[in-house]
Amino acid sequence: MATFLKIYPENPNPKHVAQAVDIIRQGGLVIYPSDTVYALGCDINNKSALEKVARIKGVKLEKANFSFVCKDLSHLSDFVKQIDTSTFKLLKRALPGPYTFILPAGNNLPAAFKKKKEVGIRVPDNSIAQALIDQLGNPIVSTSIRDEDEIIEYTTDPELIYEKWQDQVDLVIDGGYGGNVASTIIDLTSGEPELIREGKGSLEI
């Protein structure tokens, strides 16, 4: 049975954030708010937690297209190949914000992702997500939680999310109502930005 933890986005309580981070560090799965929809995530360095997320999504871990959710661009060089100035400027303009950028994978990926040719990078403009990653000290690997059988694609009410997911995850953070439009995905692997999915992020970046 998952813990249900209220964290206020206006000023995330460090004690509550620490409680959440402790669960993530121990290999727990967390559902948390972002600047788009609620996301399911775990510690990037915990292989068994990553495998659990992949199982929930019904994919093999090595085939999974999860996002690396970072606090800022300082982690970028850990996970992606060297990028040119214009790409870096684009990232600086757009982030933090509701975008997922697909970039060529670097050589320092955690063991579970060693064979990846590309990675999705997210820096959400959400104080709770930022506080979690800040205290954890490394990115959270994440995927959006969807409702395949609903008219609305993404559940926005944390209590309904808890009802549905309480037996599959270790923690659901109630950060208020979420959005129901996912991030805009832009592929930067070829040098020219290519729109993969139009979401919340404006294309005027």
pTM of the model: 0.95
Question: 3-197: which CATH architecture?
Answer: Alpha-Beta Complex (3.90)
pLDDT above 70 coverage of the chain, percent: 98
| Interval 75-99: pLDDT, tens | 888 899 999 999 999 999 999 999 9
Q: What is the pLDDT of residue 191?
A: 78
Q: Where are the domains of the chain?
A: 3-197
Q: What is the pLDDT of residue 204?
A: 83
Start-to-end CA distance of the chain, whole Å, equals 42
Task: Identify the band that residue 151 occupies on the pLDDT scale cut at 50, 70 and 90.
Answer: low
CA distance 172 to 166: 8
> 36, 179 in Cβ contact below 8 A?
yes
Write b or e for each residue in 53-92: b if 16 or more Cβ atoms lie within 10 A of its Cβ, otherwise e.
Answer: bbeebeeebeebebbbbbbeeebbebbbeebeeebeebbe
